[in-house]
């Protein structure tokens, strides 16, 4: 029997995570499937077939558990020192339902990057979400679900933009306090999304999910499809104020144009907005997800464990209409602004910090 221990699973997660980060760091080739690029990196140091077998074995074990109680009863699989340390720090108070969901989502991500379709793990997470009132756990599950929306919309338009009579423009709308398109440290565990809830999944699980979200955003944008990407001004202002160097703004714009919007087209925009909003969201022409995961920098509330949910249709239409009604004035699109316009935007942001 292949190794079903958590220790081996976490090792494989870490290996895949490092390979994905390496591919992102050196630059992704939009002409080559991402899974092939990652696979070529992993093969240099590891046996991919053995990794796949071990992850599938662990996933199959998780799927036999009806809920977190069954996971608790099988604590012998937890041969991970990191897990034991986290459990000790939490005083032994472990949310096994949450833990099971995190591991199932992580297993899907690892197998995806290893080019092995295994939808059963994420289907279990979605079934739990539907039975539990439509909420998803913070961290790995939220990032995975967000990436799915980017991927779904890209595949829906694979043979050219598809629009419905009720949705004539077909824009994908994103509102985020933690913009993968602007913050190059998006992949670091505590970079911009508060994670004060107690998670027993390895940090690499959350990083891998953010990588998936980022890659799907990039693939969507490189496909030449339209997107309106909104970032609250105070989020960028807070980042600039916290920066210890004077080149934070330059770094943001360089990352935006090099790593995400490398091949910009008409209909793609990244815009700072001043409107007060309560949650992040990604909305396409079919569905959408919103999350309370990110908080305003000046608010000390802890991150809630289950902050994300899928839009109900009336609210999705209403919120998407509001986002699409925001005017994009000349010189406000961060993708195409010239240096003078960028300096003007930066000065305006600086005015909000003072």
Q: 268 or 134, which is more confident?
A: 268
- The CA distance from 171 to 191, in Å, is 28
pLDDT of residue 98: 83
Q: Which range among 72-76, 170-174, 269-273, 334-338 shows the weakest confidence by mean pLDDT?
A: 72-76
Q: Higher pLDDT residue, 216 or 245? A: 216
Which range among 105-119, 182-196, 227-241, 279-293 shows the weakest confidence by mean pLDDT? 182-196
Q: What is the mean pLDDT of residues 283-288?
A: 87
pLDDT band at 277 (very low <50, low <70, confident <90, very high): low
Output 139 or 149, whichever has higher pLDDT: 149
Chain-wide mean pLDDT for the chain? 81
In this structure, the chain runs to a length of 354
Higher per-residue pLDDT: 29 or 59: 59
Residue with tokens 């995806």: 112
Q: What is the pLDDT of residue 74?
A: 66
Question: pLDDT tens digits for 197-221?
Answer: 556 677 889 899 999 999 999 999 9
Domains and CATH numbers, the chain: 1-133 (no CATH), 134-354 (3.30.870)
Distance separating alpha carbons of residues 352 and 342, to the nearest angstrom? 16
The whole-number pLDDT of residue 307 equals 72
Question: Mean pLDDT over residues 266-289, rounded?
Answer: 85
Task: Quickly state the pLDDT bin for 89 (edges 50, 70, 90).
Answer: low
Q: How confident is the model at residue 302 (pLDDT cuts 50, 70, 90)?
A: very low
- In this prediction, residues 165-177 reach a mean pLDDT of 70
> Is the pLDDT confidence value at 80 over 90?
no
Mean pLDDT of 67-79: 68
Q: Is the pLDDT of residue 93 over 80?
A: no
């Amino acid at each position: 029997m292949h190794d079903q221990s958590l220790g081996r699973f976490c090792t494989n997660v870490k290996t895949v995570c490092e390979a994905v980060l390496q591919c992102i760091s050196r630059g992704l080739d939009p002409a080559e499937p991402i899974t092939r690029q990652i696979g070529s990196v992993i093969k240099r140091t590891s046996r991919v077939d053995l990794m796949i077998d071990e992850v599938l074995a662990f996933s199959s074990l998780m799927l036999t558990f009806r809920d977190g109680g069954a996971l608790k009863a099988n604590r012998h699989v937890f041969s991970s020192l990191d897990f034991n340390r986290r459990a000790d720090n939490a005083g032994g108070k472990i949310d096994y339902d949450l833990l099971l969901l995190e591991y199932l989502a992580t297993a899907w991500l690892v197998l995806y990057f290893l080019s092995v379709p295994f939808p059963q793990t994420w289907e279990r997470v979605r079934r739990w979400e539907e039975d539990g009132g439509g909420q998803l756990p913070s961290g790995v599950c939220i990032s995975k679900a967000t990436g799915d929306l980017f991927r779904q919309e890209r595949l829906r338009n694979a043979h050219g933009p598809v629009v419905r009579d009720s949705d004539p423009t077909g824009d994908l709308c994103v509102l985020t306090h933690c913009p993968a398109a602007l913050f190059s440290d998006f992949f670091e565990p505590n970079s911009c999304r508060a994670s004060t809830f107690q998670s027993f999944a390895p940090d690499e699980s959350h990083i891998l999910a953010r990588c998936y979200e980022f890659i799907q955003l990039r693939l969507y944008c490189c496909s030449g499809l339209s997107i309106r990407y909104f970032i609250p001004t105070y989020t960028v202002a807070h980042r600039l104020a916290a920066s210890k160097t004077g080149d934070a703004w330059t770094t943001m714009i360089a990352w935006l144009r090099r790593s995400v919007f490398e091949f910009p087209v008409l209909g793609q925009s990244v815009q700072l907005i001043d409107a007060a909003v309560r949650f992040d969201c990604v909305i396409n022409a079919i569905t959408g997800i919103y999350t309370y995961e990110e908080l305003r920098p000046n608010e000390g509330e802890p991150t809630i464990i289950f902050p994300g949910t899928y839009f109900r249709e009336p609210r999705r239409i209403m919120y998407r209409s509001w986002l699409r009604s925001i005017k994009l004035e000349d010189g406000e699109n961060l993708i195409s602004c010239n240096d003078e316009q960028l300096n003007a935007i930066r000065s305006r942001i600086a005015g909000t910090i003072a």
